[in-house]
Chain A
Amino acid sequence: MSIILDHVNYVYGGDTALAVHALKDINLVIPDGQFIGLIGHTGSGKSTLVQHLNGLLRPTGGNIYYNGEDIHAADYDKKKLRSKVGLVFQYPEHQLFEIDVFSDVCFGPKNLGLSRQETELRAYAALKQVGLEDAYFYQSPFDLSGGQKRRVAIAGVLAMKPDVLVLDEPTAGLDPKGRDEILDQIAKLKEETGITVILVSHSMEDVAKYVERIIVMNRGSVMYDGAPKEVFAHYRELEQVGLAAPQVTYIMQALHESGMPVGTDATTIREAKGEILKALGKE
């Protein structure tokens, strides 16, 4: 069970003078249950790539397989695919529209043709999964704070019971605590349900803290694909393409250069702390 991208290419405006080759020969295997970070500068092709995962865009070359089936085959059920690969866009709270939070989350499952009871059970479970308290269920979604609205929007996708959850910058514009809360909730959800999570992010610190695999996009191609430590070891190359490593990686590098016997591959505060304490003989 997995998503496979096989030589995927995508060209915008192919028959015009303004053609843009947005994805160039992408080959990826996304197995079940991974927590993946997708990074890249603005315009590197991240969003174009994620829109291919549930068939919103059709590759101009190559194929995409979901659980072994070609999603663009003539008899493939795209509606089912879209319930299985849930996409949460940037600023998803702009898509809330119902009179109260609970109805908004029911909208997805209702459109899948589920019974009222099943719909409401799923909506309830989804709202619990994102950690929204019962007191908010019958409030207008527009009266909630930014972080709460975003949770409601994510719950709307979770209520479809997806196997893969793709989040396009879910923490943009949130305060630091709001960022941590949303990401902790997603990590917990992944832990509990075994769902595959693909996190598109501009925060190297967040990516380093949560994901097990990082895919780096640059000019429409995959530049690196590996564990955070492997990817951030290339911090000089990442800077060349508008990215960076987390600040702790730079700190460890500088400490190493100034003669302290520390490893340089730490990407989180916890790892860096452990390394430094060891070097100082405090462990």
Chain B
Amino acid sequence: MGIIRTDKLVFEYIRRDEEGNVEGITRAVDEVDLDVKQGDFVAILGHNGSGKSTLAKHINAMLYPTEGAVWVDGMNTQDEKHLWDIRQEAGMVFQNPDNQIIGQVVEEDVGFGPENMGVPTEEIWARVEESLKAVGMYEYRKYSPNKLSGGQKQRVSIAGVIAMHPKCIILDEPTAMLDPNGRREVVRAVRALNDVEGITIVLITHYMEEIIHANKVFVMDQGRVAMQGTPREIFSQVEQLKELRLDVPQATLLAYELQKSGVKLPDGILTTEELVQALTQVYHG
């Protein structure tokens, strides 16, 4: 069984007016089946309000299913005696780094998680060191977090999660508030955790360029999984993505536009390198 599995997951919430009268019921997640294997890099796309974040919050038991079930490493998230095990195994990183950092010094912040788990002091320090090194922030360990850039703060947040030795990390739009450099730093750190440490990654994002290295992409719409496949399969369907309020990387879009004008290019071009190679072939051939 995969590290994260959902079985016909449904989440509904009740909308109320100001007096507390029921106005209706919204089904935010609608019969979603996921099966994520240990070591996968999964990306979840979807427009605002498509149910991505609601789905993600089920993975570390911040929300519980209305119907269906969620298992993390074989543990049902509704089983209260596993709550802390699940939160330790499935770490979560949110959009705004300023809301996630509590320590006065970077290394204290990163040590907060393991300290709360009751890890012995020497091991906490060992974990802080290895986590900060994994995200390339070790040289900043004595800094105050408010002296760091957005991308650096977000990497400290990720280090704080890694220090708890999770098997998977769920990142909910971790780059939405960052500048291009910050986005690059965070994406690089996330890829390294997946490649080198084998940590399972679930990345939610609105930036299409960030997911071209994922091995599986889910596209959400109205609480359902509307499309799934490899990045290449997903990005081959430019029109359908646009209908779902999404986008494709610029290289993919340019290739698609050139195809429409009669240039013979393969489908699903993802990167600058692929497009340049295909175009030079057309030019010289």
Interface residues, chain A, with chain B CB atoms under 8 Å away: 40-43, 145-147, 172-178, 202, 204-205, 242-244, 246-248, 250-251, 254-255, 258-260, 269, 272-273, 276-277, 279-280, 282
Contacts and interface: CB of A to CB of B under 8 A. Distances in A.
Contacts of A246: 250
Nearest to B149: A42
Contact of A243 (B151, B181, B257): B181
A268 B16 CA distance: 45
A247 B48 contact: no
Contacts of A277: 258, 261, 263
A132 to B, nearest CB: 16
B20 interface: no
A205 to B, nearest CB: 6
A15 to B, nearest CB: 20
B179 A176 contact: no
A279 B279 CA distance: 10
Interface stretch (B105-113, B115-123, B195-203, B240-248): B240-248
Contacts of A42: 149-151, 178-179, 182
In this complex, the interface size class of chain B, counting residues with CB under 8 Å from chain A, is 35 or more
A243 to B, nearest CB: 6
A172 B176 contact: yes
B283 A260 contact: yes
14 contacts: A41-B179, A41-B182, A42-B149, A145-B48, A174-B206, A177-B242, A178-B47, A202-B179, A202-B180, A242-B182, A259-B283, A276-B263, A277-B263, A280-B282
Contacts, number: 115
Contacts of A260: 279-280, 283
B249 interface: yes
B177 interface: yes
B189 interface: no
Interface in B246-285: 246-247, 249-251, 253-254, 257-258, 261-263, 272-273, 275-276, 279-280, 282-284
Contacts of A242: 149, 179-182
A145 B173 contact: no
Given A250-B272, A273-B258, A282-B261, A177 B280 contact: no
Contact of A202 (B178, B262, B263, B283): B178
A146 B279 contact: no
A229 to B, nearest CB: 16
